[in-house]
């Protein structure tokens, strides 16, 4: 087994996102037959892939802007067959472009935010550029514009409808059209594109769907190209306003209903659904974002919005008081009423997940209001976990939650598999990875069946 001792930069003036386990790794590995503690569930046959910022050289000025690197672990037959990590070879990486130089080139993606499969293809995603297709072995195929039909950016957070197989997508931009709603059919063809009018260019990181709607969050983080304070061209605006737009699936600009909400920012919703005349959205709500600089990022707590399509009324309530990050639900309930959610949370009062504070994995039961801490062991820091059902007909928490965990004591990383229905129990398996995996962003479990031809 190959191992790597990283020469991490610990100089006092080194930015936080280039230190400790945020620091990039500097090579690509392929290692087979990984060691495992415990037993990998034999039902798991596929790949766990996780994307993140891993700058190949220099200081990208913010954690969000580093070159994308995908880490993958192949599970089959109760064994961990391989680990691979690969940079996504985009125009930005190959030409060494910085964030400002790449912002208006659709192929110059950092490709560092998410990785998922649809219609037999795998894409590395970042919200201001085209998606980049990868092979199942994580080699880069290239940018994908869907036979020339995609003429905008492609969100890092598509939503696949578990009932129709459609992939709902959007693109946002600093220049008009600032927002465009897209839909891919189950075979991966781009079949719908509709510009939606908003007052200006904002950072619209994520969105939601219900069984009948797409839900867009037009919130007050705006583009400002005059900003020169050590970050990107984005800032909080006290005057832009905050609103949520609800449009029928495959809808157009004329069909959008807008609802004002209290000013805030949402990087990541948990899920949304339709309940009678109401659209209900569970979201990670930040009170503001990047007011003073792009390092000014207060944590999110779980809130619920209710939008009454009959009366126009809006109700907002807080569901939890603990900071969290990277919330996920069972992909089979996306757009429908969910009971459970998982997220990275602070394990100490006042802590902030993903900033070096001790972290925990939590499971919310939104039906009973209970919150459970998933046991990943002392001194270990989780990234995003995803839920994988035990079988197609399994219940919403009948299966496994899977994610990468960093052990601070020995500076190593494991792929950890926990029983989703028993959050207090120890992990059922730890796949010992051949090197530390830097803290990153989002990932997916890709079942072998997803890579079959559509």
**What is the rounded CA–CA span in Å between residue 289 and residue 296?**
6
Q: Report the side by side order of strands in the sheet with 380-389.
A: 36-38, 429-432, 412-419, 399-407, 380-389
Asked if pLDDT for residue 51 goes beyond 80, the answer is yes
Q: What is the pLDDT of residue 160?
A: 98
Indicate the pLDDT class of residue 227, thresholds 50, 70 and 90: low
Candidates 347, 353, 339, 414; CA nearest to 374 is 347
Q: For residues 341 and 297, which has the higher predicted lDDT (pLDDT)? A: 341
- Please name the residue that has the structure tokens 């219940």: 395
Percent of the chain's residues with pLDDT above 90: 82
**What is the rounded CA–CA span in Å between residue 293 and residue 12?**
20
Q: What is the DSSP string of 370-430?
A: EEEEE---TTEEEEEEEEEESSTT--TTSEEEEEEEEETTTTEEEEEEEETT-TTSPPSEE
Asked if pLDDT for residue 1 goes beyond 60, the answer is no
Query: CA 430 → CA 25, 34, 36, 412, 416, distances in Å?
Result: 21, 10, 6, 12, 5
Q: For residues 388 and 357, which has the higher predicted lDDT (pLDDT)? A: 388
Q: What is the pLDDT of residue 347?
A: 60
| Residues making up the chain, counted from first to last | 454
Indicate the pLDDT class of residue 353, thresholds 50, 70 and 90: low
Q: What is the pLDDT of residue 10?
A: 59
The stretch 61-73 carries a mean pLDDT of 95
Q: What is the pLDDT of residue 364?
A: 97
Asked if pLDDT for residue 187 goes beyond 90, the answer is yes
Q: What is the pLDDT of residue 11?
A: 67
Indicate the pLDDT class of residue 322, thresholds 50, 70 and 90: confident
Instruction: State phi, psi for 394 to the nearest 5 degrees.
Output: -70, 155
The stretch 348-375 carries a mean pLDDT of 77
Domain ranges of the chain: 1-146+325-331+339-454, 157-321
221, 232 contact by CB (below 8 A): no
Q: What is the pLDDT of residue 4?
A: 35
Q: What is the pLDDT of residues 238-284, one digit of tens each?
A: 999 999 999 999 999 999 999 999 999 999 999 999 999 999 999 99
Q: What is the pLDDT of residue 2?
A: 33
Indicate the pLDDT class of residue 182, thresholds 50, 70 and 90: very high
- Cβ atoms within 10 A of the Cβ of 292, count? 10
Dihedral, CA of residue 444, residue 434, residue 416 and residue 18, to nearest 10: -70
Q: What is the pLDDT of residue 7?
A: 45
pTM, whole model, 2 decimals? 0.94
Q: What's the token pair of residue 218?
A: 């037009």
Q: What is the pLDDT of residue 3?
A: 34
Indicate the pLDDT class of residue 354, thresholds 50, 70 and 90: low
């Amino acid at each position: 087994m190959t191992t790597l001792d990283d020469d991490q930069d610990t100089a006092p003036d080194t930015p936080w996102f280039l230190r400790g386990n945020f620091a990039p790794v500097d090579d690509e590995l392929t290692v087979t037959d990984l060691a495992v503690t415990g037993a990998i569930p034999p039902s798991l046959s596929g790949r766990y892939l996780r994307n993140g910022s891993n700058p190949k050289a220099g200081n990208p000025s913010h954690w969000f802007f580093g070159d994308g690197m995908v880490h993958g672990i192949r599970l089959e037959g109760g064994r961990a067959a391989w680990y691979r990590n690969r940079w996504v070879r985009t125009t930005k990486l190959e030409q060494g472009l910085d964030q400002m130089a790449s912002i208006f080139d659709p192929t110059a993606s950092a490709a560092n935010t998410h990785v998922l499969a649809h219609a037999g293809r795998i894409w590395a995603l970042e919200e201001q550029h085209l998606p980049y297709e990868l092979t199942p072995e994580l080699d880069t195929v290239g940018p994908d514009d869907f036979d020339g039909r995609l003429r905008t950016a492609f969100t890092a957070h598509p939503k696949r409808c578990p009932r129709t197989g459609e992939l709902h997508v959007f693109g946002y931009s600093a220049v008009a059209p600032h927002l465009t709603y897209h839909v891919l059919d189950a075979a991966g063809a781009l079949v719908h594109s509709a510009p939606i009018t908003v007052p200006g260019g904002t950072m619209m990181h994520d969105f939601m769907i219900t069984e009948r709607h797409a839900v867009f969050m037009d919130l007050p983080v705006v583009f400002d190209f005059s900003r020169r304070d050590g970050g990107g061209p984005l800032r909080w605006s006290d005057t832009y306003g905050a609103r949520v737009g609800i449009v029928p699936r495959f809808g157009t600009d004329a069909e959008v209903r807008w609802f004002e909400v209290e000013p805030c920012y949402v990087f990541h919703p948990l899920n949304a659904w339709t309940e009678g005349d109401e659209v209900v959205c569970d979201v990670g709500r930040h009170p503001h974002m990047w007011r003073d600089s792009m390092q000014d990022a207060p944590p999110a707590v779980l809130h619920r919005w209710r939008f009454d399509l009959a009366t126009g009324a809006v109700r907002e309530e807080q569901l939890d008081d603990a900071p969290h990050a990277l919330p996920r639900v069972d992909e089979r309930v996306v757009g429908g009423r969910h009971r459970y959610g998982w997220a990275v949370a602070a394990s100490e009062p006042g802590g902030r997940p993903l900033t070096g504070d001790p972290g925990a994995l939590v499971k919310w039961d939104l039906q009973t209001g209970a919150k459970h801490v998933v046991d990943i062991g002392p001194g270990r820091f989780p990234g995003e976990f995803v839920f994988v059902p035990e079988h197609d007909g399994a219940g919403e928490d009948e299966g496994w939650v899977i994610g990468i965990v960093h052990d601070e004591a020995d500076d190593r990383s494991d792929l950890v598999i926990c029983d989703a229905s028993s959050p207090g129990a120890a992990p059922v398996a730890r796949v010992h990875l051949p090197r530390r995996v830097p803290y990153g962003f989002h990932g997916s479990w890709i079942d072998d069946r997803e890579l079959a031809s559509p």
